[in-house]
Amino acid sequence: MKRVATVIRLRPEKEEEYRRLHADAWPGVLDRLTRSNIRNYSIFLRDGLLFAYYEYVGDDYDADMAAVRADPESQRWWTFTDPCQEPVPTAAEGEWWAPAEEVFHLD
Does this model's pTM top 0.75? My answer is yes
Look up the CATH number of the domain holding residue 77. 3.30.70.1090
Residues 48-104: pLDDT tens digits?
999 999 999 999 999 999 999 999 999 999 999 999 999 999 999 999 999 999 999
- Confidence (pLDDT) at 105: 95
Give the list of residues 6+ apart from residue 102 with CB closer than 8 angstroms, or none.
3, 5
Does the residue 50 lie in any domain? yes
The sign one gets for the Cα dihedral 67, 38, 4, 79 is positive
Structural domain that includes position 82? 2-99
If one counts the domains in the chain, the total is: 1
Residues 37-51: pLDDT tens digits?
999 999 999 999 999
Does the residue 105 lie in any domain? no
